[in-house]
Amino acid sequence: MADKRSSESEAVAELRDGMTLGIGGWGSRRKPMSLVRELLRSPVKDLTLVSYGGPEVGLLCRYGKVKRLIYGFVSLDSIPLEPHFRAVRQAGAVEARELDEGMLQWGLYAAALRLPFLPTRAGLGSDVMRINPELKLVKSPYADGEELVAMPALELDAAFIHMNRADAAGNGQYLGPDFYFDDLYCMAAKRRFMSCEKLVETRELLAGGALQTLRINRSMVDGVIEAPGGAHFTECPPDYGRDETFQREYAATAKDEDAWRRFRAGWLDVSEAEYQARVQAR
């Protein structure tokens, strides 16, 4: 099997201005934050970002990296609405496409299946259709004649995800309560990069017979990055929980420019190694 070990800088180097990037995880849970932090350090801009959003959305928007945002929600979980996202959304600083959570899933699934769209009931009877006038309805060709939403495929140029364990070939394992839709992000993307808490031998992934936790296989992945603490400050159970103190500090910077400058200088305008060292020293 090919050795796909890589680094955050090598993954981000494949991105170009204007690309569509999908980021896995869910809210403030198991986000590939070391990859996001590397992206913040890069010159890449004008991205279309697809996500069940958390702090990666707020940070990338605050840095001016995002031109268009496609999302089901943007939340820090214990803080219901991501505050930096709120600020850019209220200012109209990004083009926003708000979707029902199920519609976003179906759009990724359509792209994974290489289909132009998939029919769904999600979104019917809501304002989703009004605020997204480009969405179309399709009539069932069968006797029922039901009218459904034709959710277009969300094709991605690249995807970033984070797993608890992985091997060098690109097989990935989650150990927490949910795999979210990380497999669909990988299947919908042309280039796929997976960070992980720990690189292990393939046989260790199979220990205990927990095959249902192996949602990512090597055919879905182009690069693997070992990044202990790489999901911080989001949660990555059972390895660690969400750093609520850090998250509150981050959220508070949305209303205080001086606090934002201090936070950015102390936590973001540094290398990943320095970031992790400062986290450990707290």
- Going from N- to C-terminal start, the domains of the chain cover 8-114+155-273, 116-152
User: Residue 225's beta-bridge partner residues?
Assistant: 195
pLDDT of 259 above 90: yes
CB count, 10 Å around CB of 43?
Answer: 7
Inform me whether the pLDDT recorded for 44 exceeds 70: yes
Beta strands in the chain (DSSP E): 20-23, 47-53, 66-74, 95-98, 117-120, 136-139, 147-152, 156-166, 172-173, 189-199, 223-226
Give the CA dihedral 48, 42, 217, 275, nearest 10 degrees.
-120
CATH code of 8-114+155-273, in short, is 3.40.1080.10
DSSP alpha helices (H): ranges in the chain?
A: 8-12, 33-41, 55-62, 83-90, 101-112, 128-131, 182-188, 202-205, 244-252, 257-263, 272-281
173-226 confidence digits (pLDDT tens): 999 999 999 999 999 999 999 999 999 999 999 886 677 899 999 999 999 999
- CA dihedral in degrees (47, 53, 54, 60; nearest 10)? 10
Q: Write out the two tokens for 18.
A: 């204007």
What pLDDT shows up at residue 209?
66
Contact at 8 Å (CB) between 94 and 103? no
Give the mean pLDDT of 154-168.
98
What is the pLDDT averaged over residues 50-77?
A: 98
pLDDT value at residue 64: 98
Contact (CB, 8 A) for 186 and 159: yes
Report residue 73 as tokens. 């929600």
In this predicted structure, the answer to whether residue 25 has a pLDDT above a threshold of 90 is: yes
Average pLDDT over residues 74-97: 97
Does residue 195 contact residue 159 with C-beta atoms inside 8 Å?
no
Beta bridge partners of 71: 51, 98
Unique residue bearing structure tokens 């697809």: 50
Q: What is the mean pLDDT of residues 236-260?
A: 98
Query: pLDDT by residue (tens digit) across 175-188?
Result: 999 999 999 999 99
0.85 surpassed by pTM = yes
Q: Rounded to whole angstroms, how far apart are CA atoms 178 and 148?
A: 29
Question: Is 81:52 a contact under the CB 8 Å cutoff?
Answer: no
Q: Report yes or no: 223 and 10 within 8 Å, Cβ to Cβ.
A: yes
- Evaluated on CA atoms 41, 44, 47, 51, the torsion sign reads negative
pLDDT per residue over 112-150, tens digit each? 999 999 999 999 999 999 999 999 999 999 999 999 999
How far apart CA 189 and CA 22 sit, in angstroms, is 8
